[in-house]
């Protein structure tokens, strides 16, 4: 078991706390394996009724995955370790999605990338005033993964496409409005909530409902009609044209955000969401995302995006191609093609 996880049980309530505060609890390969092992052990344990998932300390619930490993792998071993990480992480995501016992995720803080992947499969997803939700992969030339191809196109209207193309950050109230969270509870009440669930694991729903608060007004709700109109297309060029044609300050701000993101990432996300929205099985979505991930970490955009955002921090990436028009259907077809090197993704046998 890894030092970056606290795993224990309190009677019939099992508990996983992420414990990597200096990295905002971003997931490592060992953390993904440790969580999967714990969940598999509790899956058939009649003494365990519910699972609590939170973070031990600090301001992040989970800020993502191990980007350093992915970047090093793309440069050192032709993506082998990167594929191993994605295969393991996606198995965890799928295990949680199909888990027969309720999992309660406490999204109290930064919830991005990999943090989205381990919160959205949970039956109960608690947001607070500290929640900061985003899928910012377009800034580093990756793509919205960990199940985003399933979850985001199923959000209200074109909210998912908006989040993927802009990297917009949502607060707890907006997460509740969009359905990304099931409950909104003030952070000062979380310790009480967890203690009550431990004492009465059969009353999770009633406890969460009783302690929930009315959140502030969701800003996202006020922009929903505009988002649905301006992000209506599944074509990046058409979305950009719609934003350009709108003279509002809001459209100008979001146009700048869209243009700053990796064009290949944005086109991948739009195609991914079309396919994901039509899928009937979460495992099929994860197999698609594994194909995409295996290719995206080997593209120069990923190395360049990580350099610009996380290494040199000049936030001035040079994307290849630099424009949406340069990202061709042939490029996308190659990214989505079956049979990445090393084979296809498969669920854990116990979760299939």
- Which is nearest to 18 in space by CA: 95, 88, 118? 118
CA distance 320 to 166: 19
Average pLDDT over residues 144-172: 98
Average pLDDT over residues 260-283: 98
Which are the catalytic amino acids? 65, 114, 137, 145
> What is the signed CA dihedral for 71, 74, 76, 82, rounded to 10 degrees?
80
**What local confidence, expressed as pLDDT, does residue 352 receive?**
65
**What local confidence, expressed as pLDDT, does residue 1 receive?**
54
**What local confidence, expressed as pLDDT, does residue 351 receive?**
77
Domains and CATH numbers, the chain: 5-351 (3.90.226.10)
311-340 burial code (b ≥16 CB/10 A, e <16): eeeeeebebeeeebeebeeebbeebeeeeb
- Which is nearest to 345 in space by CA: 299, 286, 304, 301? 286
- Encode pLDDT of 70-115 as tens digits: 999 999 999 999 999 999 999 999 999 999 999 999 999 999 999 9
CA distance 171 to 267: 26
Check whether the bond before 321 is cis (ω within 30° of 0).
yes
Instruction: Tell me the C-alpha to C-alpha distance, in Å, between residue 122 and each of 92, 95, 103.
Output: 12, 10, 5
- Which is nearest to 136 in space by CA: 149, 126, 145, 127? 145
Instruction: Tell me the C-alpha to C-alpha distance, in Å, between residue 251 and each of 31, 159, 197, 237, 312.
Output: 40, 15, 44, 15, 30
**What local confidence, expressed as pLDDT, does residue 350 receive?**
83
% the chain with pLDDT above 70? 99
- Encode pLDDT of 215-248 as tens digits: 999 999 999 999 999 999 999 999 999 999 999 9
Average pLDDT over residues 117-136: 98
- Encode pLDDT of 173-212 as tens digits: 999 999 999 999 999 999 999 999 999 999 999 999 999 9
- Positive or negative torsion for Cα 298, 300, 306, 309: negative
Instruction: Check residue 344 and report its DSSP letter.
Output: -
Provide the pLDDT confidence category of residue 340 given band limits of 50, 70 and 90.
confident
CA distance 161 to 117: 17
């Amino acid at each position: 078991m890894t030092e970056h996880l606290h795993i224990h049980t309190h009677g019939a309530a099992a508990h996983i706390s992420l414990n990597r505060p200096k990295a905002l609890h971003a997931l490592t390969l060992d953390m993904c394996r440790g969580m999967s092992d714990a969940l598999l052990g509790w899956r058939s344990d009649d003494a365990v009724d519910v699972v609590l998932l939170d973070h031990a300390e600090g301001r992040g619930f989970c800020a993502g995955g191990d980007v350093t490993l992915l970047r090093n792998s793309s440069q050192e071993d032709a993506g082998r370790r990167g594929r191993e990480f994605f295969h393991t992480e996606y198995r965890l995501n799928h295990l949680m999605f199909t888990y027969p016992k309720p999992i309660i995720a406490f999204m109290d803080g930064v919830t991005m990338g990999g943090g989205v992947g381990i919160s959205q499969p949970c039956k109960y997803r608690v947001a607070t005033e500290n929640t900061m939700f985003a899928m910012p992969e377009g800034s580093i030339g990756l793509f919205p993964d960990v199940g985003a191809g399933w979850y985001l196109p199923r959000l209200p209207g074109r909210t998912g496409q908006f989040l993927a193309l802009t990297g917009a950050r949502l607060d707890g109230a907006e997460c509740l409005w969009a359905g990304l969270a099931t409950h909104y509870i003030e952070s000062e009440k979380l310790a009480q909530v967890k203690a009550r669930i431990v004492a009465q694991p059969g009353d999770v729903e009633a406890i969460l409902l009783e302690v929930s608060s009315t959140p502030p007004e969701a800003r996202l709700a006020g922009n929903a009609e505009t988002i649905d109109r301006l992000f209506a297309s599944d074509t990046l060029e058409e979305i950009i044209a719609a934003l350009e044609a709108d003279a509002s300050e809001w459209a100008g701000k979001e146009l700048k955000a869209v243009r700053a993101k990796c064009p290949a990432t944005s086109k991948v996300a739009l195609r991914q969401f079309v396919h994901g929205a039509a899928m009937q099985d979460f495992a099929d979505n994860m197999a698609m995302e594994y194909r995409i991930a295996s290719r995206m970490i080997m593209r120069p955009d990923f190395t360049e995006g990580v350099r610009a955002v996380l290494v040199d921090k000049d936030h001035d990436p040079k994307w290849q191609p630099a424009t949406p028009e340069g990202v061709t259907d042939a490029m996308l077809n190659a990214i989505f093609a079956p049979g990445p090197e090393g084979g296809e993704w498969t669920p854990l046998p116990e979760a299939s």
